[in-house]
Amino acid sequence: MNYITTYCHIALNNCYVNGKLTHSFNSNSIDDFTKEFYKSLILEYPKFHKMDRLAKTAFLGTEVLKKECPEILNYKDDEIAILFSNNNSSALTDVNFQTSYQNGGVPSPSLFVYTLPNILIGEIAIRNKWYGENMFTVAEHFDAEYFVNYCNVLLHKNAAAALCGWLTIDDNKIEAFLFFVTKKDFNELNLPLESKQLIELYTKN
């Protein structure tokens, strides 16, 4: 049996970890919110500021989960699979990149490198020196069955844990649901990895 050992929800100005409000801000914009959130975590990781909104959100969620469940850091560097998903790929940065070369501008290389959704997985891998399995999928809706099935498959194969996330990011929206799946229930939340359970957690906030 595999467990959802810890989870978090991020929305504008708030972050809930395992269902409890842990971070709250009064920012007027999404960009200010991610900046304030980053500052409050005292990370000294200036690369954060170069990331696009999709990567920033996934990065912040991962840092919060690590704090809540430090046991995650004891895994070997290639034992953690990273599985993220959303329904619009890198659309927000895609539009920004397209804008860069329209109306007389020139294509921006620093925007272009973020026009692939799996870049956020790379950012998390670089930050944590995690060399495990990677996969970014695009689905119409949050697909609990996919996460349950594929986590079970990988935890039975060459991973010991999985970092998962579903992100709803666009010009005026920021919502994220991240969770860690492990074989041992470190935080004793008693949340077995099952579709019904996962959907319940996803819709909680």
Partner 1 sequence: MITYIGLENIISPLGITAEENFNQIKQGNTSINYHRGIGFGHENIFLSKLKNTPSFYELLSQCLQAVIKGTEDELILSKDTIVIISTTKADIKENITTPIIAAIKKLTKEFQLQQQPIVISNACISGVLAMNTANNFIKAGIYKNAFVIGADVVSDFVLYGFQSLYAISDKPCQPFDKNRTGISLGEGAGGVFMSSDKNVFKSTCFEFVEGTSSNDANHISGPSRTGEGLVRTVNNSLALAQLKPSAIDFISAHGTGTSFNDEMEAIAFSRLGMNTIPLNSLKGYFGHTLGAAGLIETAICLQSLRNNLLIKTLGFEEDGASEKINITTQNITTEVTTILKTASGFGGCNASAIIRKLK
Q: Per CB under 8 A, does 131 bind partner 1?
A: yes
Rounded Cα gap, residues 58 and 156, in angstroms: 25
Identified binder of partner 1 from the candidate list 11, 12, 41, 91, rule CB under 8 A: 91
57 contacts 169 by C-beta, under 8 angstroms:
yes
Sign of CA dihedral 184, 189, 195, 201: negative
Q: Per CB under 8 A, does 191 bind partner 1?
A: no
Q: Which stretch binds partner 1 (CB under 8 A): 5-13, 36-44, 127-135, 183-191?
A: 127-135
Shortest CB 114 distance to partner 1, Å: 8
Sign of CA dihedral 104, 92, 146, 63: positive
- In the complex with partner 1, the residue whose CB is nearer, 1 or 106, is 106
Which two three-digit tokens encode residue 187? 């935080």
Rounded Cα gap, residues 172 and 82, in angstroms: 26
Identified binder of partner 1 from the candidate list 20, 44, 129, 188, rule CB under 8 A: 129
Q: Per CB under 8 A, does 173 bind partner 1?
A: no
- Tell me the DSSP string of 65-132: HHHH-GGGGGS-TTSEEEEEEESSTTHHHHHHHHHHHSTT----HHHHTTSSTTHHHHHHHHHHT--S
Contacts of 123 by beta carbon, 8 Å cutoff, 6+ apart: 47, 51, 55, 58, 59
Shortest CB 204 distance to partner 1, Å: 23
Q: Which stretch binds partner 1 (CB under 8 A): 25-33, 36-44, 147-155, 193-201?
A: 147-155
Identified binder of partner 1 from the candidate list 16, 48, 130, 166, rule CB under 8 A: 130
End-to-end alpha-carbon separation of the chain, Å? 26
Q: Per CB under 8 A, does 59 bind partner 1?
A: no
Total residues contacting partner 1 by CB under 8 A comes to: 51
Positions that interact with partner 1 (CB under 8 A): 77-78, 82, 87-89, 91, 94-95, 97-98, 101, 106-109, 112-113, 115-119, 121-123, 125-126, 128-140, 143, 146, 149-150, 152-154, 156-158
